[in-house]
């Protein structure tokens, strides 16, 4: 198949809409549902991300995409009991399922209505987890019979299921049109590997094996995240992604706040919230987000809707105390840090390892700030802007 008609473009009024290949068959096959324009942008961006993650880590990888940027990305490492609880997992899962659970769990609010991306075959574990979540579609290289049956039953049979040809290699030159003008450039096929982390100008030059893995995850995630962008990673997954900001420090703050929320969800105050048994997962996610945030009184004043009893307020002092336990976080940036304020903010979220392009006229200030906190920082000399 060389052409596929879509429901509509970015918006329902943008018809007709289609995708087509000028050089051969399309690399995707629709197994169920009917795709839209944004669905396919998410699917194809996400597939590139997870393919590179798997190649870099030798682990199954997954991503949760929304509006052409990842809400989360991860590899298939086991979950501890706390992560199982905050990700709503009741049993041990396959590696590919765990990768998706981690990817979706990084920022469950943003992943609501996501597009699921898998580097490996979708199995029953993964399909069962996706079936109970609010998701718009999935792309994977293959599906077990049982997994496909489960996914086809989702959303009254309309859930979008795409199969990608894992051997497909796109042309070296890519093009797109804007306002009737065609843009052309070399596809960004630069490889992200441990070789990118060899130039370490800071006093602390020790980047652990786990940190190396997490920095690669963060860098590859940024390669497919709308710029400017910054990514925090820990334990084999992104834990905070700041995308599409005009100021880099705003990216760092946004991603850092998401990383903080991810860790605050693991605090006793949140784990022990007295939810009513019939409260659905999205409503729990919303309630937790408000409870952790600065407008918790809105929730606590109307607590009867979701709780069996009124929880105690999660005070700022308690949050700060808990966040002091967040350590060993890795951070990557899609371009250089122009000021040391980015490092100051990163330190507040437990960052101990950094990868960034380097090349700012203020590199000395950034290095000095890293040394202030004993942070090991690698300069990759690779810019990863994506638009």
* CA 378 to mean position of chain CA atoms: 22
Whole-number percent of the chain with pLDDT over 90: 98
Averaged pLDDT, 311-334:
96
Residue 110 has pLDDT above 90, yes or no: yes
The residue whose two tokens read 């729990």 is 284
Domains of the chain and CATH, by start = 3-164 (3.40.140.20), 173-263+323-379 (3.40.140.20), 268-313 (1.10.287)
Task: Determine contact, residues 106/64, Cβ cutoff 8 Å.
Answer: yes
Q: pLDDT band at 382, cuts 50/70/90?
A: very high
**pLDDT of the residue at 135:** 96
Summarize the confidence of residues 170-189 as an average pLDDT: 95
Q: pLDDT value at position 334?
A: 96
Give the span between the Cα atoms of 252 and 244, in whole angstroms: 11
Asked whether the predicted pLDDT for residue 171 surpasses 90, the reply is yes
Contact 227, 385 (CB under 8 A): yes
Averaged pLDDT for residues 302-321: 95
Q: Is the pLDDT of residue 165 over 90?
A: yes
Q: What is the pLDDT of residues 25-84, one digit of tens each?
A: 999 999 999 999 999 999 999 999 999 999 999 999 999 999 999 999 999 999 999 999
pLDDT at 23: 84
d(CA 238, CA 75): 9
Tally the C-alpha atoms within 13 A of residue 302's C-alpha that lie toward its C-beta.
7
**Residue numbers annotated as active site:** 66-67, 228, 387
Mean pLDDT, residues 283-298: 93
- For 180-196, what is each residue's pLDDT tens digit? 999 999 999 999 999 99
Which pLDDT band holds residue 1 (cuts at 50, 70, 90)?
confident
Average pLDDT over residues 204-233: 97
* Residue 296 pLDDT greater than 90, yes or no: yes
Confidence (pTM): 0.96
pLDDT of 161 over the 90 cut: yes
Looking at residues 233-247, what average pLDDT do you find?
Answer: 96
Q: How confident is the model at residue 148 (pLDDT cuts 50, 70, 90)?
A: very high
Reduced 3-state DSSP string for the chain: CCEEECCCCCCCCCCCCEEECCCCCCCEEEEECCCCHHHHHHHHHHHHHHHHHHHHHCCCEEEEEECCEEEEEEECCCCCHHHHHHCCCCCCCCHHHHHHHHHHHCCCCCCCCEEEEECCCECHHHHHHHHCCCEEEEEECCECHHHHHHHHCHHHHCCEEEEECCCCCCCCEEEEEECCEEEEEECCCCCCCHHHHCCCCCCCCCCCHHHHHHHHHHHHHHHCCCCCEEEEEECCEEEEEEECCCCHHHHHHHHHHHHHHHHHCCCHHHHCCCECCCCCHHHHHHHHHHHHCCCHHHHHCCHHHCECCCCCCCCHHHHHHHHCCCCCEEEEECCCCCCCHHHHHHHHCCEEEEEECCCCCCHHHHHHHHHHCCCEEEECCCCCCCC
pLDDT, mean over the chain? 96
């Amino acid at each position: 198949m060389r052409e596929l008609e879509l429901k509509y473009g970015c918006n329902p009024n943008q018809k007709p809409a289609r995708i087509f290949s000028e050089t051969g068959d399309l690399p995707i096959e629709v197994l169920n549902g009917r795709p839209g324009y944004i669905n396919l942008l998410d699917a194809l961006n996400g597939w590139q991300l997870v393919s590179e993650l798997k190649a870099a880590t030798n682990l199954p990888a997954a991503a949760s995409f929304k509006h052409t940027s990842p809400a989360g990305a991860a590899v298939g490492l086991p979950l501890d009991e706390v992560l199982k609880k905050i990700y709503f997992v009741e049993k041990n899962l396959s590696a590919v399922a765990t990768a998706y659970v981690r990817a979706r769990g990084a920022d469950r609010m943003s992943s609501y209505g996501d597009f699921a991306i898998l580097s490996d075959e979708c199995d029953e574990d993964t399909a069962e987890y996706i079936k109970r979540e609010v998701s718009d579609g999935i792309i994977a290289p293959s599906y077990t019979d049982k997994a496909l049956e489960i996914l086809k039953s989702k959303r009254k049979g309309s859930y979008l299921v795409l199969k990608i040809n894992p051997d497909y290699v796109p042309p070296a030159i890519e093009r797109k049109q804007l306002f009737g003008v065609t843009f052309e450039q070399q596809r960004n096929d630069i490889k992200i590997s441990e070789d990118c982390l060899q130039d370490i100008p800071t006093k602390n030059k020790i980047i652990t094996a786990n940190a190396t893995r997490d920095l690669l995850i963060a860098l590859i995630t940024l390669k497919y995240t709308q710029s400017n962008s910054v990514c925090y990673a820990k334990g084999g997954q992104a834990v905070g992604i700041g995308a599409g900001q005009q100021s880099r420090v705003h990216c760092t703050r946004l991603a850092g706040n998401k990383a903080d929320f991810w860790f605050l969800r693991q605090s006793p105050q949140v784990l022990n919230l007295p939810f009513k048994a019939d409260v659905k997962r999205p409503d729990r996610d919303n309630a937790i987000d408000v409870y952790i945030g600065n407008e918790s009184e809105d929730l606590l004043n109307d607590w009867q809707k979701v709780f069996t009893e009124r929880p105690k307020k999660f005070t700022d002092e308690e949050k700060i105390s808990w966040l002091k336990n967040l350590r060993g976080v890795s951070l990557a940036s899609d371009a250089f840090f122009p000021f040391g304020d980015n490092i100051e903010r990163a330190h507040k979220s437990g960052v101990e390892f950094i990868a960034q392009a380097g090349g700012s006229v203020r590199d000395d200030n950034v290095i000095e700030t890293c040394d202030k906190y004993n942070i090991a920082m690698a300069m990759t000399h690779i810019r990863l802007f994506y638009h």
